[in-house]
């Protein structure tokens, strides 16, 4: 590896295994590195691995072989990056690595996800366990060869869950249709929880660890359907039954039984802490697991598998007996080396164990505390000490449990059933992974031996895959070395000096110990390269496995390998009264000649089972799943590098990497190679170059050797990609230096130009300053001269002005003095004249005043005389003024009465509106009478005024009666006061009258408003009543239909009716009338008819019509068949076939028949045409016809026995109805005639509705089938475009883009669809629904491909899809809302996803901005998926920030706890988006009256009425025209 300053490398670290670093320099033969933490270290170059800096910018690669540098740290950190994004699956070629997420991810395992991977090519979609299962299933079906899937990993890595997922998928793709019986696939799936209950336990590393190996063989028939299954188990950990350590647990079934409630009480069980086999560990419960619920699940699984209730009771009774047996304790007996029961408690448990085993208690005690030895002299009974009795007790418990487990497996196999004739199988192997603990014993030795065998098989398979890849590419691979571990296997299993053979030999000798066994091993394998003696132990040894060195402790090797079967135990339990227990020990072992013990080697038996397994695997095509446990704490999002690296070594992943490194680890397609390394030799890239030859020229130009050129890829040896990257980095560095040079030149020139411009500016400023100074001096000189001139002028003018003002002052004083003299003289003359005038005026005024006083005195005397005369007159008229006062009081009372009546009227107006008009008229009369009275009072007042005038004249004549006049003057003053009061009362009366008139006007106005409101309310009530009546009518119709159908369905069926028709005649029929709408209601209003018109029938009698109809039944069916099979076409946009069928059914009175034969004939005819005809022609044609016929039935049929629910507005005479019927059998009006239909007609309408839905569904599915390959080509188009762009680069390396021909194909497809639909006059309602579902399918397909294919989740693909969506939007706009509807909204998901892909500043967007502004329709899981899969292949931009990813991951973890299924994929919409009422509302009226009879039907007599009716219409039109 060539290193230089700035190179990216991996360096070893004690805590993190490997850390990224950068080369900072060189010191001697060491390299100075700067780690990511900033620490500087010195390392030798051979300990470094190259690192690709570009891989840090995205979330890792989904296949390890795509790594630029395939090495150990690259594999480790690629898994780490993907695990941080919850991408738990990663490929290494065909090997799947599954990292346990320790959290629920239900969106990855639902049915929709299985449907996506079904049939998808391996590697096309994101890595998944379903992809491996599907690949094995497809290979089995296509190649006809059995397959196997090997799932391995350490405890807690998720092997069991992965196995269940594989089996779940295989039952999904290979399962049969659901039935009432339990299917094989159901039993196979339910066998998992059953085996988990009896074979799984909690360990230090895993709460549900499988303590046995399992190979499930699923058998298939020739059609790829599951036909049987078989389960094999390996090496059950028997010792766990009697011995566990804290915090582990025993097998789950024991704890489930203790928590079973009544069953536990029945078997005298309690809390697990009361039993020795369970209380050795203080862990009794598992977090999040209920033992009681798990017990019920186990019982349910037993039911499904086929275990009877009696067998279930026997199984749990046996488990309870084992628990009671463990509580039996012994104490030393009276005799030497003997033992007896310790106490009463032990006696109770012994009795319970014997009762549960259904055997004799004393015999059971004897078999536990004694042993029999057969000698030549006879049988010797030997007593056992306490330790021996306990060992015998534990041996019995282990034997019973092991046989119980074997019986369960055998029972499952018998219940599921093996298909002995099956030639195709898929085996799923769930087996323990490589184990290396602090203390490794016999179990770890067997497990690691099994993993060595599997690793050899794995190495051979990987090497074989490498060979296949090289052969496929036609390159030379003969010199590649193969890494083998056969020497380790020989060391373990080879006879006669293998470890297992020596172990069996040692077990055969009773006096052998682990010391003698270890000595024998040391002597045999002292010089073996894989063998090593432990340093600080005399008996331990170390083996160098493929995954590392493991030190084994031989202390218990011999004991654990000896699988002794005590004959007394078998004899006792075989004689049990419980058939189940006796059946477990039915086959007795051969009796030993000297002891009741029968030796059986566990290691040998395991080796034989393993050999059989390998033989099975060698006959199948293997697929590998390596499960990895990310941390020892079982916590999500925690990645321990050292632990995972160890598991990768143990799982053989790094071994596969080493095998790959031995050959050609780096493989690139020619287009990828030229795209990345074409800059190393740009002279070889011209306008049209060959990628393979260009690749070869580049490699030869760099003088690289040992590379291979395949058909589609270039294969490079280890380290060559580093040389290429180093040269590429040098080229890029030189280019960067050249760019820097140019940039510095540009910066220096820019600085020089700016400095020169500054100098020019400074010079210009200085010159300007000097010029301004010179100009200022000149301007000051000119200003001084100008000031001097003006000062001289001012001085001269000032002297002149002073002289001028002195002269003017003298002249003005002289002139003033003369003027004042003249004024004083005139003033004196004017004063004398005024005094004279005032004197004369006073004399005249005093004479006038004297004369005036004399005249006033005379006038006063005369007036007094006249007043006295008038006083006498007033006294005479005093009585008349009293009558006026009475009239005034009466008027006041009447006003009060009127006021009260007005108030009373106001109160009565609210309570009684009907009497308001009468009261108003009465008030008007009262007001008129008051007006008359008021006029009368005004006349009286005028007369009084006249009388007063007369009195005044009389007073003037009675001046002589002074004395009387003076007395009456006082009374006159009072009368005047009363007069004034009367006038004021009259004014008040006038005012009240006007107020009353105003109130009357207001009352009339309020009355009018109230009447209007009442009228509006009555109108609304009438409308509501109309709606209620129509709804009641609909409800009654539906109830009657359901009632009739429930009654008739029990008596009449289509099949029985059709059989009856073969022996019977056609039912009675006659014609009926049809009255359609002429004015269609609004689209969203209820189409309930408003009137009921009596049908008109022709004058033929019932018997005559029945006879004529019976004579030609066959002809009617021929007419209907020809209408259905022939394309009759359309008339004025109306489907002729539907109209003719409807009119014929009316004419033949089929809707009133009790038989369904004719309707069945129509439905079967339509179905036959749909099956035989061309989908593109038949489906649109019959969608139009069937929907039209359905609308005619929906609008004109109602069940028999329903009267009209609305009243008729008027009655028409019989003559009028006959005349209307003669003019046309179809009356146009506001009403609609409902034909009374019987049950067969109602059933026909429902069948026709189902037929319309079926046609619509067939059209939708056909369109999706045609559209799928077009969408597939659009999905693959960006990749093809990138390849084409690489081939057609111009000399300037500018790629040329391909035109969007794939989207043009979709547009052409949509245009063709619209032409077909319009050509068949399909209603716009159906077109809208169909186009909406097509666009929903486009949205679903594109969006799911975006989330499942990483190559689609790119910037360039986003631009490509966005351009295609623009074309679709343009098509929708051109099509119009009438036909396209809301189709554009169906593309919301893909539009928002693509919009997110093509934005450049993703890292600046917060989660709220993404969810609210960019992608409001997408869920957090979908946004998270896009963000983690995104990569920019065009501009190199990055995805969202790490903070946003962390926020989304936190939200997803919360959702995983709440949701049962939260898939990020979209589901296909398979619903029917309309109902019969929607069709009736949406489709316009169809008038079948003017349909012409086709020439092909004119020869049938049963349809001649159509021709006659057409002639009548023609004659009527001619008469109207005349």
Active-site residue list: 155-156, 160, 206, 209-210, 433, 435
Q: Pseudo-torsion of CA 864, 865, 868, 874, nearest 10°?
A: -100
DSSP 910-943: HH-STTHHHHHHHHHHHHHHHHHHHHHHHHHHHH
Kind plus residue range of the DSSP H or E element containing 827? helix 720-876
3-state DSSP assignment of residue 78: helix
Sign of CA dihedral 458, 464, 468, 470: positive
To which residue do tokens 């379903």 refer?
A: 130
User: Is 1067 buried (19+), middle (13-18) or exposed (0-12) by CB count in 10 A?
Assistant: buried
SS3 9: strand
Cis peptide before 229 (omega within 30 of 0): no
All residues at 6 or more sequence positions from 612 whose CB lies less than 8 Å from its CB, including other chains: none
Q: CA–CA separation, 360 vs 368, rounded Å?
A: 13
State the SS3 of 315-367: HHHHHHHHHHHHCCCEEECCCCCCEEECCHHHHHHHHHHHHHHCCCHHHHHHH
Angle, CA 1423 vertex, CA 1420 and CA 1425 arms, to 5°? 110
Give the CA distances from residue 1304 to residues 1274, 1366, 1370, 1448, in Å, rounded to whole numbers and listed in that order. 10, 12, 12, 38
Q: Looking at the DSSP assignment, which residues form a beta bridge with residue 220?
A: 226, 424
Q: Which is it for strands 621-628 and 95-99: parallel, antiparallel or unpaired?
A: parallel
Q: Determine how many CB atoms are found less than 10 A away from the CB of residue 956.
A: 17
Measure the CA–CA gap between 713 and 718, rounded to whole angstroms: 16
- Transcribe 1161-1204 into DSSP letters: HHHHHHHHHHHHS-HHHHHHHHHHHHHHHHHHHHHHEEETTPPP
In sequence order, which residues have a C-beta less than 8 Å from that of residue 1407 and are 6 or more positions away? 1444, 1447, 1448
Do 640 and 630 meet the contact criterion of CB atoms below 8 Å apart? Answer: yes
Asked whether 546 and 587 are in contact (CB, 8 A), the reply is no
Which DSSP helix (H) or strand (E) runs through 857?
helix 720-876
Q: Nearest CA to 1442 among 99, 55, 57?
A: 57
Cα 215 to chain centroid, rounded: 38
Integer Cα distance of 1386 and 1073 in angstroms: 45
Distances, alpha carbon 1035 to alpha carbons 748, 1039, 1195, 1198, in Å: 91, 6, 15, 12
- Three-state secondary structure call for residue 810: helix
Q: What is the DSSP string of 226-241?
A: EEEEEEEEE---GGGG
Closest CA to 1279 of 666, 469, 671, 667: 671
Phi–psi pair at 1084, nearest 5 degrees: -100, 5
Please name the helix (run of DSSP H) or strand (run of DSSP E) that holds residue 800, with its range, or none: helix 720-876
CA 274 – CA 902 distance, rounded (Å):
101
**Percent composition of the chain: helix, strand, coil (DSSP 3-state, to 5):** 65, 10, 30
Torsion of CA 186, 187, 191, 192, to 10 degrees: -20
């Amino acid at each position: 590896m060539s290193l230089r300053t700035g190179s990216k490398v991996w360096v070893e670290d004690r805590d993190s295994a490997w850390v990224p670093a950068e080369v900072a320099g060189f010191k001697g033969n060491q390299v100075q590195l700067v780690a990511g933490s900033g620490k500087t270290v010195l390392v030798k170059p051979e300990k470094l691995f190259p690192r690709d800096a570009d891989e840090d910018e995205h979330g890792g690669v989904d296949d390890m072989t795509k790594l630029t540098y395939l090495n150990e740290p690259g594999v480790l950190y690629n898994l780490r990056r993907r695990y941080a994004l919850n991408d738990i699956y990663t490929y290494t070629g065909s090997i799947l690595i599954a990292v346990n997420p320790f959290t629920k991810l239900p969106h990855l395992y639902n049915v929709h996800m299985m449907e996506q991977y079904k049939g998808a090519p391996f590697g096309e979609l994101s890595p998944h366990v379903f992809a491996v299962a599907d690949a094995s299933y497809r290979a089995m079906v296509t190649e006809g060869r059995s397959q196997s899937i090997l799932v391995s990993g350490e405890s807690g890595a998720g092997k069991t869950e992965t196995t269940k997922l594989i089996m779940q998928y295989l039952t999904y793709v290979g399962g049969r249709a659901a039935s009432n019986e339990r299917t094989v696939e159901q039993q196979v799936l339910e066998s998992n929880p059953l085996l988990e209950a009896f074979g799984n336990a909690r360990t230090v590393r895993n709460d549900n660890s499988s303590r046995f190996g399992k190979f499930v063989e699923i058998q298939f028939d020739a059609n790829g359907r599951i036909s049987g299954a078989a389960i094999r188990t390996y090496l059950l950990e028997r010792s766990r039954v009697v011995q566990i350590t804290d915090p582990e647990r025993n097998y789950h079934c024991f704890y489930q039984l203790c928590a079973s409630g009544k069953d536990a009480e029945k078997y005298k069980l309690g809390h697990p802490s009361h039993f020795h086999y369970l209380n050795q560990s203080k862990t009794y419960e598992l977090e999040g697991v209920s033992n009681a619920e798990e017990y019920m699940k186990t019982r349910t699984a037993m039911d499904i598998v086929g275990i009877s209730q009696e067998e279930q009771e026997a199984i749990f009774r046996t488990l309870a007996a084992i628990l009671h047996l463990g509580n039996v304790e012994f104490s030393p007996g009276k005799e030497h080396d003997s033992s007896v029961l310790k106490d009463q408690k032990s006696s109770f448990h012994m009795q319970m164990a014997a009762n549960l085993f259904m055997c004799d208690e004393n015999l059971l005690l004897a078999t536990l505390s004694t042993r029999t030895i057969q000698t030549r002299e006879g049988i010797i009974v030997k007593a056992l000490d306490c330790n021996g009795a306990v060992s015998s007790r534990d041996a019995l418990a282990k034997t019973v449990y092991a046989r119980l487990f074997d019986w369960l497996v055998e029972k499952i196999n018998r219940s599921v059933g093996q298909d002995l004739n099956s030639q195709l199988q898929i085996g799923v192997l769930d087996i323990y992974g490589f184990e290396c603990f602090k203390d490794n014993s016999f179990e770890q030795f067997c497990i690691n031996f099994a993993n060595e065998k599997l690793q050899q098989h794995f190495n051979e398979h990987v090497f074989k895959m490498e060979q296949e890849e090289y052969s496929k590419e036609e390159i030379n691979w003969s010199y590649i070395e193969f890494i083998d571990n056969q020497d380790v296997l020989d060391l373990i299993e080879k006879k006669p000096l293998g470890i297992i053979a020596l172990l069996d030999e040692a077990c055969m000798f009773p006096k052998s110990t682990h010391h003698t066994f270890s000595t024998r091993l040391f002597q045999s394998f002292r010089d073996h390269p894989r063998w090593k003696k432990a340093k600080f132990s005399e008996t331990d040894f170390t083996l160098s496995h493929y995954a590392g060195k493991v030190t084994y402790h031989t202390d218990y090797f011999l004991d654990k390998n000896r699988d002794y079967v005590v004959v007394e135990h078998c004899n006792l339990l075989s004689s049990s009264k419980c058939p189940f227990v006796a059946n477990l020990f039915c086959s007795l072992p051969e009796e030993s000649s000297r002891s009741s013990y029968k030796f059986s080697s566990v290691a040998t038996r395991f080796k034989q089972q393993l050999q059989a397994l390998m033989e099975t695997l060698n006959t199948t095509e293997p697929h590998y799943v390596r499960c990895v446990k990310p941390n020892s704490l079982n916590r999500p999002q925690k990645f321990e590098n050292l632990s995972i690296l160890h598991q990768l070594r143990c799982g053989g992943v790094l071994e596969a990497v080493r095998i790959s490194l031995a050959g050609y680890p780096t493989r690139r397609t020619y287009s990828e190679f030229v795209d990345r390394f074409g800059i190393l030799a740009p002279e070889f890239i011209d306008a049209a170059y060959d990628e393979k030859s260009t690749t070869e020229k580049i490699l030869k130009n760099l003088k690289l050797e040992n590379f291979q050129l395949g058909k589609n890829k270039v294969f490079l040896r280890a380290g060559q990609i580093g040389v290429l990257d180093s040269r590429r980095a040098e080229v890029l560095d030189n280019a960067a230096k050249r760019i820097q040079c140019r940039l510095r030149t540009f910066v220096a020139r820019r600085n020089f130009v700016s400095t020169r411009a500054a100098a020019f500016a400074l010079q210009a400023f200085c010159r300007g300053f000097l010029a301004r100074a010179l100009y200022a001096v000149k301007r000051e000189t000119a200003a001084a001269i100008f000031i001097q001139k003006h000062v001289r002028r001012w001085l001269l003018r000032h002297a002149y002005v002073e002289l001028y003002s002195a002269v003017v002052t003298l002249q003005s004083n002289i002139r003033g003095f003369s003027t004042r003299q003249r004024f004083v003289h005139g003033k004196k003359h004017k004063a004398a004249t005024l005094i004279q005038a005032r004197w004369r005026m006073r004399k005249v005024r005093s004479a006038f005043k004297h004369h005036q006083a004399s005249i006033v005195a005379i006038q006063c005397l005369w007036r007094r005389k006249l007043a006295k005369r008038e006083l006498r007159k007033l006294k005479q008229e005093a009585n008349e003024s009293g009558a006026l006062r009475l009239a005034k009081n009466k008027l006041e009372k009447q006003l009060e009465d009127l006021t009260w009546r007005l108030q009373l009227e106001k109160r009565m107006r609210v309570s009684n509106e009907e009497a308001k008009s009468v009261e108003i008229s009465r008030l008007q009369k009262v007001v008129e009478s008051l007006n008359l009275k008021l006029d009368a009072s005004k006349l009286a007042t005028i007369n009084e005024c006249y009388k007063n005038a007369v009195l005044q004249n009389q007073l003037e004549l009675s001046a002589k009666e002074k004395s009387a006049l003076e007395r009456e003057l006082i009374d006159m003053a009072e009368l005047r006061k009363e007069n004034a009061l009367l006038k004021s009362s009259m004014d008040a009366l006038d005012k009240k009258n006007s107020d009353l008139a105003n109130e009357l006007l207001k009352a009339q106005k309020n009355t009018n408003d109230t009447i209007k409101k009442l009228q509006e309310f009555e109108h609304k009530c009438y409308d509501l009543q109309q709606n209620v009546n129509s709804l009641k009518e609909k409800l009654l119709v539906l109830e009657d239909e359901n009632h009739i159908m429930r009654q008739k369905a029990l008596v009449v069926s289509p099949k029985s009716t059709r059989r009856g028709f073969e022996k019977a005649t056609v039912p009675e029929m006659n014609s009926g009338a049809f009255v359609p709408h002429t004015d269609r209601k609004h689209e969203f209003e209820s189409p309930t008819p408003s009137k009921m018109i009596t049908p008109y029938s022709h004058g033929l009698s019932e018997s005559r019509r029945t006879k004529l109809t019976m004579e030609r039944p066959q002809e009617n069916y021929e007419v209907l068949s020809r209408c259905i099979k022939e394309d009759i076409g359309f008339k004025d946009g109306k489907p002729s076939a539907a109209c003719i069928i409807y009119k014929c059914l009316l004419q033949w009175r089929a809707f009133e028949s009790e038989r369904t034969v004719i309707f069945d004939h129509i439905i079967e005819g339509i179905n036959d045409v749909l099956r035989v005809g061309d989908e593109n022609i038949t489906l649109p044609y019959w969608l139009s016809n069937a929907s039209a016929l359905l609308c005619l039935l929906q609008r004109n049929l109602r069940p028999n026995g329903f009267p009209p629910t609305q009243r008729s507005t008027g009655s028409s005479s019989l003559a009028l109805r006959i005349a209307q019927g003669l003019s046309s059998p179809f009356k146009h009006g506001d009403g609609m005639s409902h034909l009374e239909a019987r049950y067969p007609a109602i059933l026909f309408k429902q069948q026709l509705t189902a037929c319309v839905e079926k046609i619509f569904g067939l059209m939708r599915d056909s369109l999706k089938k045609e559209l799928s390959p077009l969408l597939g080509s659009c999905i693959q188009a960006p990749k093809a475009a990138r390849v084409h762009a690489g081939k057609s680069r111009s000399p300037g390396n500018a790629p040329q883009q391909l035109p969007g021909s794939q989207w043009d194909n979709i547009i052409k497809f949509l245009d063709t669809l619209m032409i077909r639909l319009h050509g068949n006059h399909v209603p716009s309602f159906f077109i809208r629904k169909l186009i909406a579902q097509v666009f929903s399918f486009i949205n679903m397909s594109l969006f799911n491909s975006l989330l499942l294919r990483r190559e689609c989740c790119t910037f360039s693909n986003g631009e490509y899809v966005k351009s295609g969506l623009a074309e679709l939007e343009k098509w929708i706009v051109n099509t119009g809302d009438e036909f396209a509807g809301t189709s554009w909204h169906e593309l919301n998901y893909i539009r928002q996803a693509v919009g997110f892909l093509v934005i450049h500043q993703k890292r600046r967007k917060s989660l709220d901005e993404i969810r609210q502004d960019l992608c409001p329709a997408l869920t957090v899981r979908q946004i998270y998926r896009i963000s983690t899969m995104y990569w920019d292949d065009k501009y190199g931009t990055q995805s969202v920030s790490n903070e946003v990813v962390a926020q989304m991951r936190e939200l997803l973890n919360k959702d995983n706890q709440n949701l049962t299924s939260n898939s990020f994929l979209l589901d296909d919409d398979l619903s029917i988006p309309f109902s019969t009422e929607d069709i009736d509302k949406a489709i316009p009226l169809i008038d079948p009256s003017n349909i012409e009879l086709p020439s092909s039907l004119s020869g049938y007599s049963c349809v001649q009425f159509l021709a006659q009716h057409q002639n009548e219409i023609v004659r009527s039109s001619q008469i109207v025209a005349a």
